[in-house]
Amino acid sequence: KDKNKSRLLPNFSQKFPQIMQELSENENYGLFETIATVLELQEKSFESVSDKSLEFHGNGGLKIDANFSDEGFDYVSFLGSIMSFKLANTDEHYLAYSIFEALGDMAIQTLLQLKVRFKVENVVMMGDMFENSVLYSRILSKFTTSNPYFSKGFALDD
């Protein structure tokens, strides 16, 4: 697996030099700007990736690495997974859908750990990301044993 990881960037750079050039010219891109660039979306934003995810009308996404390491969220593995699927010519809408599913699964795992460790009974989730129906539905369907509340009238990011 490490051998595959070491080949990922050179292979991706060879197949998508324009993407790599844009990323190197825009080192201040955030996560979703970077993802939008890898997916070759016109607008570089959370909204464009979210909109693209809603174009997929199937069931079940790809397995994208969305894990934590000792230092926090493992962005390298997350973006590496996305780049690997892009190299395999995965449709952008399917890949965007899978990204939000993976983020939902990561949130569920984190919440389950908090529930066990701190005996949490109720959870309030808020923020613009939960407007994405893929993420929202994933958490709601897989986290049914607890009581997740999604705040519609109370936001911290406004």
Please state, in angstroms and rounded to a whole number, the distance separating the CA atoms of residues 104 and 130. 10
CA separation for the pair 48, 82 (Å, rounded):
16
For residue range 65-79, list pLDDT tens digits in order.
999 888 999 999 999
Is residue 158, in this structure, part of any structural domain at all?
no
Please write the tens of the pLDDT for every residue from 95-144.
999 999 999 999 888 888 888 899 887 777 788 888 888 888 888 887 76
Q: Which residues touch 64 (CB under 8 Å, ≥6 apart)?
A: 78, 81, 82, 85, 98, 99, 101, 102
Q: Residue 141 maps to which CATH number?
A: 3.30.420.40
- Which pair of tokens denotes residue 139? 């958490």
Distance separating alpha carbons of residues 38 and 86, to the nearest angstrom: 8
Which has more pLDDT, 81 or 124?
81
Helix axes 75-87, 31-38, angle to 10 degrees: 10
pLDDT exceeds 90 at position 62: yes
- Domain with 12, as residue range(s), is 2-150
How many domains in the chain? 1
pTM, to two decimals:
0.85
